[in-house]
Chains A and B, each alone.
Chain A
């Protein structure tokens, strides 16, 4: 049914020898009695210290001088958070848009997205990108995209919300490996990532969908949002736990990543001048 995006076996075969080699190398290191690498232990100590203070002081990130790869990831995340924050602030602030029973959940999501923007801006300091101008109709600035009634029709609003949340989950997940070695930043990103997943589950359920993604099913979203679910039907996970007899459960049980370019492709229509 969604066989077009089941391309993982090929990729896995290409990937596996490399991974196996790295595992073997690690194994050899252990056999040789090597201690944890100094870089890793330094990282762990740093992570522990940050955790001990129970606060991620944003100055510590900014003043320490973040490596450019981390700045790039965080600015990418910030752009997505700007998008979500303005979307929910506008939606929650539009009288008559959101039905009474959905106001609590959507306002809670608004609160979190606004907090994410503030948090990431604090971490990035002067390196933070500016907020783009958005077009939530998905019209690239025309104001007349496929979601033209996004702030007049609760169903359209919720549909766009679902697309943003499910995309956000996949976007953060796709960047996690780029933050390895920067434990405090990685931890914070993971803690945003799971909040986005909570949001996604709630929005999906309010729309009458399951909280999780089955295959690449777009969950009753318009065609314009289907890029959000590309590749979600993957049933083949890294190493040995690939195919499982319950294939529906396998696709639901593992959320897939999106690359930065895939995410930008999805959100570009929502940025004025983007298309």
Chain B
């Protein structure tokens, strides 16, 4: 009945969670909105008799902007978890200056994740645990190779999802994030192959000078192996 049904993690929208920064009438508006959402959700739960967010039912519904934001949230969680793990115990063969780049990127991805988490509030879909198949966290080349994959995927994901966004402010925010992901992608590629053409290589930029854009379903299919539990994707 609404886009808020199974698979959505609900947390009470308490004042503390909303934070001090958000004041005034707009905040009250949001609380009303959130309360409506929670009420609708409670009703859904009562009718279906199901527990919300049952295992294996993490669902991203692309029928509206919140689906796109949850999609972005999943990718930012993946990235921030990856860089956090890398920086906790960096590969010993990293070269001078590389850890600083990785720590900067970690901070940016954490900022993106926290921004999206706060924005989504009750509409946030819990992100499954992460797994890291094929990534050797003790190896510079493995870590940087994975970073390159994640950053290029992030760029293509935002580029492909942009035209699904209907609220102008959300589109602008997505634009503010994707260019930073592209800056990351170029930096990581330059660490792997310094002073080459790879920062914007012909493998990602076509003959028209356009970067890649991927459909959300395609992106999630590729990202899926890094999540312990599959997403259910609807509304595409």
Decide yes or no whether B50 CB sits under 8 A from chain A: no
Residues of B within 8 A of A250 (CB): 111
A237–B112 Cα distance when bound, in Å, is 10
Could you tell me if A20 and B26 are in contact, using CB atoms closer than 8 angstroms? yes
A104–B116 Cα distance when bound, in Å, is 37
Could you tell me if A187 and B199 are in contact, using CB atoms closer than 8 angstroms? no
Q: Which of B102-110, B132-140, B223-231 contacts A (4 or more CB under 8 A)?
A: B102-110
A256–B180 Cα distance when bound, in Å, is 10
Which of A30, A44, A116, A211 sits near B183, CB closer than 8 Å?
A: A211
Q: In this complex, which of A119, A198, A256 has the most chain B Cβ atoms within 10 angstroms of its Cβ?
A: A198
Distance between B151 CB and nearest chain A CB, rounded to angstroms: 10
Q: How many residues of B are counted as interface, with CB atoms below 8 angstroms from the partner's CB atoms?
A: 81
A249–B37 Cα distance when bound, in Å, is 32
Could you tell me if A19 and B22 are in contact, using CB atoms closer than 8 angstroms? no
Could you tell me if A254 and B110 are in contact, using CB atoms closer than 8 angstroms? no
Could you tell me if B24 and A190 are in contact, using CB atoms closer than 8 angstroms? no
Chain A residue at minimum C-beta to C-beta distance from B168: A177
Could you tell me if B37 and A19 are in contact, using CB atoms closer than 8 angstroms? no
Could you tell me if A201 and B36 are in contact, using CB atoms closer than 8 angstroms? no
Which of A169, A190, A210 sits near B104, CB closer than 8 Å?
A: A210
Q: A30-B64, A183-B163 are in contact. Are A253 and B26 (CB under 8 A)?
A: no
Residues of A within 8 A of B21 (CB): 236, 240, 242-243
Residues of A within 8 A of B114 (CB): 241, 244
Decide yes or no whether B81 CB sits under 8 A from chain A: no
A contacts with B: majority SS: helix
Residues of A within 8 A of B182 (CB): 194-195, 197-198, 201
Could you tell me if A17 and B26 are in contact, using CB atoms closer than 8 angstroms? yes
Residues of B within 8 A of A254 (CB): 111, 115, 173, 176-177, 180
Residues of B within 8 A of A187 (CB): 159-160, 162-163, 213
Could you tell me if B210 and A192 are in contact, using CB atoms closer than 8 angstroms? yes
A192–B107 Cα distance when bound, in Å, is 26
Q: B-side interface residues toward A, CB under 8 Å?
A: 1-3, 18-19, 21-26, 29-30, 32-33, 36-37, 40, 63-65, 101, 104, 107-112, 114-119, 121, 155, 158-160, 162-173, 175-187, 190, 195-197, 199-201, 205, 207-213, 215
What are the 3 closest A-B residue pairs judged by CB atoms, nearest first? A241-B115, A16-B26, A115-B209
